[in-house]
Amino acid sequence: MKKLLFLALLTLSVFGGASAQQLKSPDGKFLMNFSIQADGSPQYQLTYKGKLIIKPSKLGLELKDDAKSLLNDFVIADTKSSSFDESWKPVWGEVSTIRNHYNELAVTLDQKETNRRIVIRFRLYNEGLGFRYEFPTQKNLVYFTIKEEHSQFAMAGDHTAFWIVGDYDTQEYDYTTSKLSEIRGLSTKARTANVSQKGFSPTGVQTSLMMKTADGLYINLHEAALINYPCMHLNLDDKNMVFESWLTPDAQGNKGYVQAPDHTPWRTIMASDDAREILASKMIYNLNDPCKIEDTSWIKPVKYVGVWWEMITGKSSWSYTDDFPSIKIGQTDYSKAKPNGTHGATTANVKKYIDFAAENGFDAVLVEGWNIGWEDWFGHSKDFVFDFVTPYPDFNMKEIQAYAKSKGVKMIMHHETSGSVRNYERHLDTAYKYMKLNGYDAVKSGYVGDILPRGENHYSQWIVNHYQYAVEKAAEYKIMVNAHEAVRPTGIARTYPNLIGNESARGTEYQAFGGSKPNHVTILPFTRLQGGPMDYTPGIFEMDLSKISSSNHSYVNSTIANQLALYVTMYSPLQMAADLPENYRRFMDAFQFIKDVAVDWSDSKYVEAEPGQYITVARKAKKTGQWFLGSVNGEIARTSKIDLSFLEQGKKYIATIYADGKDADYKTNPQSYTIRN
């Protein structure tokens, strides 16, 4: 690891009528001004190549049950500036080495009336700005409750935005593309259609928020290192085009509980006149702490298949029986229950998936619905909680373990918490020990439904702390975690790389619930993937789901070639071939790409990109040195010229090209493709 630490030049200028500090990015393209206004309120603004990205915007926090909040009446007590430059190697990732290079300004503010002190720390990268609030040890600010954080992001125009509505419990929305001024009306309509919405402002949106200005600048707002703090949404004052932070409340309506010394997560602003630079940025990761796991040799990227899609589509069921009256809470004897004949996680069926994985070189098999209790959870007993160690009678844990081992295949455990977080925490040690005893090194956890105790939100401080606790506890047992329905990632995987995947967005399963917009996958890398990889579960070959289940009339808005490209454009060290083995056997020549594509990379090149329209990415596999290139398009037809100058000069390459056929159409002919060398 290479590290350089030295003082950076701090300059003074006139900004907002007050003496101000300026901070420049290492390449000089970004300029951040900070000042204290006449009422003592902190304020900043940000420019990129001389263009205003963030107009003068206020900073501060409103406290609950306190006569004086941390909003104004501040004076600058001290400023410290520095520069930092290091290179570090991720355990897994898009590149083998990441450079962490920024200039920093730490401003210490005193509130004379209360004798309180806070620090606002700014880090300016070549990609953009990160800032956070810090609360040093002091007599008059020890324990306090945050009523609201008032970090502003004043936009310089009515930009085009790619957004999903603010929601305390889900991010599983299709993205809307609109002007900022249109968010209020469109957001109200979206909320009306979603019953999970819990009273968020009609102009609230979630981060990561992607925007494009009229003159071609790309802007992204997000947060990094979300630890012991509620998830941040953004409220828009659409008269003045000012976003302001809006924290997820807990069951009592409080936003955050702080004990000094402490600090908030980073608030991040990225900007560029090249959309590819937003995709390639590692700023979110760099704002997180270095890896805290000393031995990471057990953390391995995974390509897997699983007993999942057949349940999602309705072909199979998670539960073993429909004989609900005979099943009692806590009962482990299912001998009197009549099997429903549709249970997916049977010993015989799982062995078929293990065979398919072994035959085709996959690392692991995921099994959902293996443990007792699904009958109760599906609406028959709202008080039911899983125990994570008791399999159904038709799933022989030891037999599966031995069979998978004999085939050289790992197994992935599934823990559906049913939203009962305290129950899961009580069982975590037992559940993780059971996993290791039976040869499971990875878990897919789920948080479907209302959080118990009822009234909590999926993204409040208390639940955010639970997700972190589960990841850190898993690290003690050398278990990798793929968390679904959890808070969206904010670069935590740098610190805990056993967090190998998250869902936290509208994934492939929604193609079985009515579909997603055809351009959905051209937006996710600009938004959801900014904070970490997504377990998107691509690889669907049969788009007409009525051919899988007579009860499902949904249609997957994609083509086979598009599904193949997702393994490259949707970066993740955890990639699933989600469809049924029988559907892959119909198209084994196309399936070859899924078998061949890597899940860990030494280099990545974003060849072309435009949010909502297209993304083309080339990646170099770590072990083989082979290059894989994927290109996905939205609904507007285009001709792409792909620059291959990143390839090593003097070498001869053979390209195997998987593409849509000339007559391919995602609605009428999705299985038309060509393969040529």
H or E element in which residue 609 lies: strand 601-610
Tell me, rounded to whole angstroms, the distance of Cα 538 from its chain centroid.
Answer: 16
Helix or strand or coil: residue 431? Answer: helix
Helix or strand or coil: residue 223? Answer: strand
**Contact, 124 vs 132, CB < 8 A?**
no
Residue in the structure block whose two tokens are 């953009």? 128
Residue in the structure block whose two tokens are 């999602």? 312
Tokens at 489, concatenated: 């990632």
Helix or strand or coil: residue 414? Answer: strand
Contacts of 332 by beta carbon, 8 Å cutoff, 6+ apart = 372, 390
CA-angle at 503, arms to 497 and 506, nearest 5° = 150
Helix or strand or coil: residue 120? Answer: strand
Which residue out of 509, 542, 582, 610 is catalytically annotated? Answer: 509
Across 474-498, b (16+ Cβ under 10 Å) vs e yields: bbebbbbbbbbbbbbbbbbbbbbbb
Q: Is 542 a catalytic residue?
A: no
Tokens at 302, concatenated: 């995974």
H or E element in which residue 462 lies: helix 461-476
Question: Which residue spans within 250-402 are E strands per DSSP?
Answer: 256-259, 262-263, 266-272, 302-307, 364-367
Distance, in Å, from the CA atom of 127 to the CA atom of 288, rounded to the nearest integer, reads 16
Helix or strand or coil: residue 309? Answer: helix
Distance, in Å, from the CA atom of 23 to the CA atom of 269, rounded to the nearest integer, reads 15
Distance, in Å, from the CA atom of 132 to the CA atom of 261, rounded to the nearest integer, reads 14
**What's the full length of the chain, in residues?**
677
**Contact, 101 vs 84, CB < 8 A?**
yes
**Contact, 399 vs 391, CB < 8 A?**
no
Distances (CA, A) of 661 to 77, 184, 469, 538: 66, 41, 48, 20
**Antiparallel, parallel or unpaired: β 364-367 and 302-307:** parallel
Distance, in Å, from the CA atom of 369 to the CA atom of 311, rounded to the nearest integer, reads 9
Active site amino acids: 509
